C-alpha cells in the first residue's frame, strides 16, 4: 500500500544504490597530554585530515581562556536588531572591516547564512547573477533564493566563458560571484581578471573567501585572495567564515557603509535569527590578535603544504589544479572512493569521501584539508598509507 513516506524511502534507497548515502560519525576530542588533543571518530583515534581549522587555532589555550572568561551567558537569545547586538560583536566587526580594507563589516551566525543573506538581498528582478560552476552549495542556495531574473553559470575559472556570458547579457544589471580558494578543488580564483571584468561591466563583485581568509594575503594581515592579488578594494562584497582559518565560529560580510546599512535593513538571514553569542565574538577577536603576534604560522604552514603536495604528485595521484591546503585526490567512482576512505579510516587516517551532489557524479574524491597542527611524523604516516592503499585500489 502506498504511504505518505514513499518518496523518502525511495530516495534513500536510490542514494544507497548510487553510493552517495551519507552517515554521521560520532566525534569526540580527548586530551592525551597537556599539549595534545586527539580526535576520536566512532571511538577510533584518527589523524584528522578533514578539519577546516587550518592554522590549528581552535585549541590554543590562550584563545580558550579568553573565550571562557567572556562567557557570561550561553547566548544573547535575541536577534541583532532586537537586543542581541553585543558590544563585542561591534568590536569584532571593526577589526574585520580593517582586516579586509573595507569601510564596514557585518557578522552573521555562519558563513552559509552570510551567503544567503547577501546574494538574496542585493539581487533584484533586473539582475543577472554570474556564478562559477564550482561555487559552494551556500552560494548555489543563495542564488536559488535570489529574485534575479536569471542565473548564468560560467565554466569553472574560465574568464573567456564569463566574457561571452557578460556580452550576451550586456543590458542587464550584473552580479559576479566567486570563491577565493575553491572548497572542493583547492584551486585559486582568477580574481585579478574577475575584478577587471567586474569594473568594465559595472558588475557587483562578491567573493566568498571562506577558505583563504587568514591563510593567504600580506604577512601580518592575511586578508585572503583579494589581498593576495592586490584587488581588495575592487571587491564590492567580501564574504567569509570565522570557522576555518580562524578556528572559531560565525560568518561575516565586509563591504561599503552603504551595503552594510542595506543588509541590516534587508537581509533576512541577518534580521530573522539570533545573534552570534558574545563569547564567540571574543574568541574571534582573540584569535585575530593571536595571529598578529604570531605572524609566521602561515609561512610554516605553507612549507607543510608544499611538501605534502610534492609527495602526492610524486606518488602519481590526480590532485587536480590545487596549490593550497585543500587537496582533492580525484578518484572518480563513488564506490571506489568510499572504500578507499573506509580503509584509510581502519588505518587511523580520516579523510572523507566527497561525492555527489557536493561534486559532480563521476568526480568523487578524497578531500584532504591540511591543518598546521598535523605533525611531520603524522604526515609521513599518511603519505605511506596513501601510497600503500592507492596501489591496492589501483588509484595510482
Ligand atoms: C566556500 C564556503 N563558503 C561558506 C561556507 C559556510 O561557512 P560556515 O561553515 O561558516 O557556515 C563554507 C563551508 O564549508 C564554504 O566552503
Task: Check pLDDT > 90 for residue 74.
Answer: yes
Mutate to test the pocket of ligand 1, among 51, 112, 283, 367 (most ligand atoms within 8 A of CB): 112
Q: Give the pLDDT band of residue 115 (cuts 50, 70, 90).
A: very high
Q: What is the average pLDDT across 93-120?
A: 98
Cα of 136 vs centre of ligand 1, distance in Å, is: 8
Cα of 60 vs centre of ligand 1, distance in Å, is: 22
Domains 25-54+296-392 and 63-293 share a fold: no
Task: Check pLDDT > 80 for residue 34.
Answer: no
Percent residues over pLDDT 90 in the chain = 97
The DSSP secondary structure of 280-300, one letter per residue, reads HHHHHHHHHHHHHH-TTHHHH
Mutate to test the pocket of ligand 1, among 244, 324, 326 (most ligand atoms within 8 A of CB): 244
Q: Say how many Å lie between the first and final Cα of the chain, rounded.
A: 49
All three cell numbers of 269:
538571514
Q: Give the pLDDT band of residue 31 (cuts 50, 70, 90).
A: confident
As a whole number of angstroms, the distance between CA 238 and CA 216 comes to 14
pLDDT at 36: 73
Residue nearest to atom 3 of ligand 1 (CA): 210
Give tens-digit pLDDT for 98-110.
Answer: 999 999 999 999 9
Ranges of each domain in the chain: 25-54+296-392, 63-293
Q: Give the pLDDT band of residue 33 (cuts 50, 70, 90).
A: confident
According to CATH, the topology of domain 25-54+296-392 is: 3.90.1150
* CA of 242, closest atom in ligand 1: 10
Q: Cβ(216)–Cβ(225) under 8 Å? A: yes
Cα of 377 vs centre of ligand 1, distance in Å, is: 30
Percent residues over pLDDT 70 in the chain = 99
Write down the pTM of the prediction: 0.96
Q: What is the average pLDDT across 367-382?
A: 96
Q: What is the average pLDDT across 373-393?
A: 97
State the average pLDDT for the chain: 97
Sequence-ordered strand ranges (E) for 49-167: 104-108, 127-132, 150-154
pLDDT at 35: 67
pLDDT at 351: 97
What's phi and psi for 96, nearest 5 deg?
Answer: -70, -35
Mutate to test the pocket of ligand 1, among 184, 241, 247, 358 (most ligand atoms within 8 A of CB): 241
pLDDT at 1: 75
Task: Check pLDDT > 70 for residue 72.
Answer: yes
Q: What is the average pLDDT across 55-73?
A: 96
Q: Cβ(244)–Cβ(273) under 8 Å? A: no
pLDDT at 227: 98
- The CATH number of 63-293 is 3.40.640.10
* CA of 182, closest atom in ligand 1: 1
User: Cell 604552514 maps to which residue?
Assistant: 301
Contact residues of ligand 1, CB 6 A cut-off: 110-112, 115, 136, 138, 179, 183, 208, 210-211, 241, 243, 251
Q: Give the pLDDT band of residue 332 (cuts 50, 70, 90).
A: very high
Q: How many residues are recorded in the chain?
A: 396
Cα of 112 vs centre of ligand 1, distance in Å, is: 5
Give tens-digit pLDDT for 120-166.
Answer: 999 999 999 999 999 999 999 999 999 998 999 999 999 999 999 99
DSSP code of residue 315? H
Amino acid at each position: 500500500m502506498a504511504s505518505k513516506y514513499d518518496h523518502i524511502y525511495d530516495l534513500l534507497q536510490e542514494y544507497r544504490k548510487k553510493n552517495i548515502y551519507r552517515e554521521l560519525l560520532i566525534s569526540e576530542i580527548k586530551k592525551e597530554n597537556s599539549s595534545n588533543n586527539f580526535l576520536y571518530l566512532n571511538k577510533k583515534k584518527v589523524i584528522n585530515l578533514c578539519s577546516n581549522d587550518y592554522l590549528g587555532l581552535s585549541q590554543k589555550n590562550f584563545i580558550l581562556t579568553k573565550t571562557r572568561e567572556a562567557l557570561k551567558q550561553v547566548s544573547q537569545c535575541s536577534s541583532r536588531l532586537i537586543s542581541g547586538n553585543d558590544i563585542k560583536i561591534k568590536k569584532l566587526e571593526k577589526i574585520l572591516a580593517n582586516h579586509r580594507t573595507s569601510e564596514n563589516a557585518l557578522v552573521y551566525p555562519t558563513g552559509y547564512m552570510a551567503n544567503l543573506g547577501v546574494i538574496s538581498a542585493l539581487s533584484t528582478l533586473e539582475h543577472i547573477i554570474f556564478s562559477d560552476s564550482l561555487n559552494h552549495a551556500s552560494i548555489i542556495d543563495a542564488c536559488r533564493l535570489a529574485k534575479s531574473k536569471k542565473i548564468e553559470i560560467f565554466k569553472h575559472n574560465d574568464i573567456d566563458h564569463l566574457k561571452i556570458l557578460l556580452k550576451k547579457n550586456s543590458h542587464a544589471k550584473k552580479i559576479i560571484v566567486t570563491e577565493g580558494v575553491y572548497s572542493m578543488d583547492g584551486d585559486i580564483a582568477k580574481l585579478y581578471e574577475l575584478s577587471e571584468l567586474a569594473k568594465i561591466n559595472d558588475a557587483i563583485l562578491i567573493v566568498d573567501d571562506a577558505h583563504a581568509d587568514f591563510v593567504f594575503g600580506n604577512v601580518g594581515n592575511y586578508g585572503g585572495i583579494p589581498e593576495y592579488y592586490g584587488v581588495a578594494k575592487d571587491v564590492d562584497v567580501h564574504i567569509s567564515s570565522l570557522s576555518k582559518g580562524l578556528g572559531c565560529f560565525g560568518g561575516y560580510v565586509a563591504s561599503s557603509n552603504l551595503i552594510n546599512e542595506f543588509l541590516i535593513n534587508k537581509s533576512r538571514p541577518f534580521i530573522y535569527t539570533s545573534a552570534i553569542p558574545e563569547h564567540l565574538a571574543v574568541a574571534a577577536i582573540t584569535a585575530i590578535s593571536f595571529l598578529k603576534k604570531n605572524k609566521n604560522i602561515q609561512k610554516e604552514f605553507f612549507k607543510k603544504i608544499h611538501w605534502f603536495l610534492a609527495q602526492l604528485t610524486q606518488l602519481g595521484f590526480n590532485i587536480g589544479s590545487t596549490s593550497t591546503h585543500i587537496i582533492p585526490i580525484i578518484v572518480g567512482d563513488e564506490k571506489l572512493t568510499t572504500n578507499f576512505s573506509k580503509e584509510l579510516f581502519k588505518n587511523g587516517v580520516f579523510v572523507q569521501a566527497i561525492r555527489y551532489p557536493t561534486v559532480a557524479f563521476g568526480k568523487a574524491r578524497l578531500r584532504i584539508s591540511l591543518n598546521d597542527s598535523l605533525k611531520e611524523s603524522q604526515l609521513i604516516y599518511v603519505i605511506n598509507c596513501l601510497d600503500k592503499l592507492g596501489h591496492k585500489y589501483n588509484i595510482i
